[in-house]
């Protein structure tokens, strides 16, 4: 895969991500119009539980699959071994959920309903397997097929929810059943990918040790990431009240576009650096990619900082991007977007840890990020409210970035174009400082010109020309 191919794949993943998020967003007015507030709360708890359970079911095997599938000639053996391991461990975890079914049902649904527990187990098990299978498409550089299967899942959920909840008035059960059917459909379709990829005779249990050694550290890292993402809301509720949580959540939701940019890039970035990490010019190419991606992300971040406040209250078919009563929350938008810029820096610096198989550092970095976020929230929220919570989030990502940068220098020193890292932040700061549409437009228009002529080196410019 070339750098140009990486860029094109990132665009495909990005468009797919946006489409998927948009379809998921359409569920909100459907559910809120058909369910009671109590029922909507139950569904929210259901989604929160399945998200947490997925981290336990995966325990880093998805990341391990990407590495060993790409870097080894015997990819079929590694894939087959991981699939069987995942199936067996998922059965065991599903058994634990069933045993704790009474308590879980009471906690999530406020009633004991064994059928609901069966629904949950089916959804999680099916989603774990089809997600793992489709990861091979990312490894094989087939983004369109990968996105298509993911869109099949979210579109199926949307259509089935409309039918079961809006038309059949099945309430909570309708939402659960929609997810069950969609997960089974997606799993069935993904099973066709097993041809030429899976073989019982290829399974080698000797592979389990390196697989687990590499993948298991990502399990606590996933837990710490979830703590990082949710701690600010709970601390806001504790120190202030739910009103401020609502304002913060609204502003945070708008800033999530920054995360979409990073995740779209990372979809192609991970298989790229795993494939090219051992090559002669790897460090030079990685540096070029870092500079180009951060430049593009900075430009898009500035663009979002300008246009989102403008369109936030625009009424489209009776719906607004953000309600008038939540408009105060938009003040944190630039901080959240910049936070994800530093998360992008963190993602860009992961190759060294992956390639040298120092994955034990990932949960350490993620853990320190989560702890920093909690401490900074308690420190800053009493002073600045929701702005303090946003700054705490930014501070935590900066700390994660600095730790991984320091770790990389200790493991394998590399040359970086720091001008390409700092330039977007300077231009972003000017946008925030002036807070004027005219000055902001001037900065936005001048950004690509200044970036190209004063930031990029010769090789980076050549890659731009190659892509265009």
- pLDDT tens track for 297-321: 999 999 999 888 887 666 655 555 5
Mean pLDDT over 433-443 rounds to 84
Asked whether residue 452 carries a pLDDT value surpassing 90, the answer given is yes
Mean pLDDT over 348-365 rounds to 87
Of 417, 408, 422, the closest CA to residue 459 belongs to 417
25, 36, 175, 368, 447 from 154: Cα distances, Å: 10, 23, 13, 34, 36
Q: Clarify whether residues 458 and 347 are in a common domain.
A: yes
Asked whether residue 1 carries a pLDDT value surpassing 60, the answer given is no
Write down the pLDDT at residue 9.
65
Q: Clarify whether residues 236 and 147 are in a common domain.
A: no
Beta partners for residue 319, in sequence order: 316
pLDDT interval class at 25 (50, 70, 90): low
pLDDT interval class at 72 (50, 70, 90): low
Lowest-pLDDT range of 66-75, 96-105, 173-182: 66-75
Domain-terminating residue out of 173, 198, 215: 215
- pLDDT tens track for 254-285: 787 888 888 878 877 877 787 776 677 778 88
pLDDT interval class at 360 (50, 70, 90): confident
pLDDT interval class at 41 (50, 70, 90): low
Q: Clarify whether residues 351 and 281 are in a common domain.
A: yes
Write down the pLDDT at residue 206.
75
Domain-terminating residue out of 215, 232, 263: 215
237 vs 5, more confident: 237
357 vs 177, more confident: 177
Output the six-digit token pair for 307. Answer: 């246009």
Q: Compute the distance between CA of residue 376 and CA of residue 361 in angstroms, rounded to an integer.
A: 22
2, 298, 331, 396 from 429: Cα distances, Å: 33, 11, 14, 19
75 vs 152, more confident: 152
Of 191, 184, 69, the closest CA to residue 127 belongs to 184
Q: Clarify whether residues 210 and 228 are in a common domain.
A: no
Domain-terminating residue out of 197, 215, 233: 215
Q: Clarify whether residues 288 and 348 are in a common domain.
A: yes
Helical axes 114-139 vs 242-276, angle rounded to 10°: 40
Write down the pLDDT at residue 31.
67
Q: Clarify whether residues 312 and 348 are in a common domain.
A: yes
Write down the pLDDT at residue 236.
84
Beta strands 315-316 and 319-320: pairing type? antiparallel
Domain range holding 237?
217-468
pLDDT interval class at 340 (50, 70, 90): very high
- pLDDT tens track for 118-141: 888 999 999 888 888 888 887 777
Question: Domain total for the chain?
Answer: 2
Write down the pLDDT at residue 342.
96
Q: Clarify whether residues 155 and 248 are in a common domain.
A: no
Q: Clarify whether residues 453 and 369 are in a common domain.
A: yes
Lowest-pLDDT range of 26-35, 348-357, 430-439, 453-462: 26-35
Output the six-digit token pair for 430. Answer: 């000017």
Q: Clarify whether residues 78 and 187 are in a common domain.
A: yes
Q: Compute the distance between CA of residue 450 and CA of residue 369 in angstroms, rounded to an integer.
A: 33
Write the DSSP symbol of residue 169. Answer: -
Q: Clarify whether residues 81 and 223 are in a common domain.
A: no
Asked whether residue 358 carries a pLDDT value surpassing 90, the answer given is no
Cα dihedral 219, 87, 145, 254 sign: negative
**What whole-number percentage of the chain has pLDDT above 90?**
26
Q: Clarify whether residues 158 and 27 are in a common domain.
A: yes
Q: Clarify whether residues 226 and 360 are in a common domain.
A: yes
Write down the pLDDT at residue 75.
73
């Amino acid at each position: 895969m070339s750098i140009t191919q990486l860029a094109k794949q990132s665009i495909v993943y990005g468009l797919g991500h946006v489409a998927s998020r948009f379809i998921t967003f359409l569920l909100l007015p459907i559910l809120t119009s058909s369910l009671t507030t109590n029922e909507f709360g139950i569904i929210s708890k259901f989604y929160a539980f399945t998200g947490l359970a997925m981290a336990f079911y995966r325990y880093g095997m998805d990341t391990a699959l990407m590495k060993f599938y790409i870097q080894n000639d015997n990819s079929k053996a590694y894939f087959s071994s991981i699939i069987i391991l995942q199936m067996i461990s998922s059965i065991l975890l599903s058994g634990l959920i069933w045993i704790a079914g009474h308590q879980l049902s009471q906690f999530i649904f406020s009633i004991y309903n064994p059928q609901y527990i069966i629904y949950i187990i089916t959804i999680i098990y099916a989603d774990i397997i089809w997600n793992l299978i489709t990861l091979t498409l990312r490894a094989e550089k087939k983004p369109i097929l990968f996105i298509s299967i993911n869109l099949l899942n979210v579109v199926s959920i949307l259509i089935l929810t409309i039918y079961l909840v809006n038309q059949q008035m099945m309430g909570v059960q309708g939402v659960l059943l929609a997810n069950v059917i969609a997960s089974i459909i997606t799993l069935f379709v993904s099973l066709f990918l097993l041809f030429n990829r899976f073989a019982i005779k290829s399974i080698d249990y000797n592979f389990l040790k390196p697989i687990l050694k590499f993948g298991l550290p990502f399990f606590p890292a996933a837990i710490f990431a979830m703590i990082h993402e949710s701690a600010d809301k709970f601390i806001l509720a504790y120190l202030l009240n739910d009103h401020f949580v609502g304002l913060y959540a609204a502003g945070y939701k708008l800033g999530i576009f920054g995360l979409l940019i990073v995740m779209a890039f990372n979809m192609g970035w991970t298989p790229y650096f795993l494939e090219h990490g051992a090559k002669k010019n790897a460090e030079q190419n990685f540096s070029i990619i870092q500079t180009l991606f951060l430049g593009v992300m900075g430009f898009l971040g500035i663009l979002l900082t300008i246009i989102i406040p403008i369109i936030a209250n625009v009424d489209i078919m009776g719906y607004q991007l953000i309600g008038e009563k939540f408009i105060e929350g938009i003040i944190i938008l630039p901080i959240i977007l910049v936070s994800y810029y530093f998360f992008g820096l963190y993602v860009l610096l992961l190759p060294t840890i992956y390639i040298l198989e120092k994955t034990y550092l990932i949960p350490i970095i993620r853990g320190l990020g989560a702890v920093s976020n909690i401490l900074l929230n308690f420190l800053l929220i009493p002073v600045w409210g929701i702005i303090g919570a946003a700054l705490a989030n930014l501070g935590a990502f900066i700390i994660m970035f600095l730790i991984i940068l320091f770790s990389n220098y200790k493991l394998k020193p590399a040359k970086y174009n720091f001008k390409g890292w700092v330039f977007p932040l300077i231009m972003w700061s000017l946008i925030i400082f002036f807070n004027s549409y005219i000055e902001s437009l001037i900065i936005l228009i001048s950004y690509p010109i200044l970036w190209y002529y004063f930031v990029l080196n010769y090789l980076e410019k050549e890659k731009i020309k190659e892509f265009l």
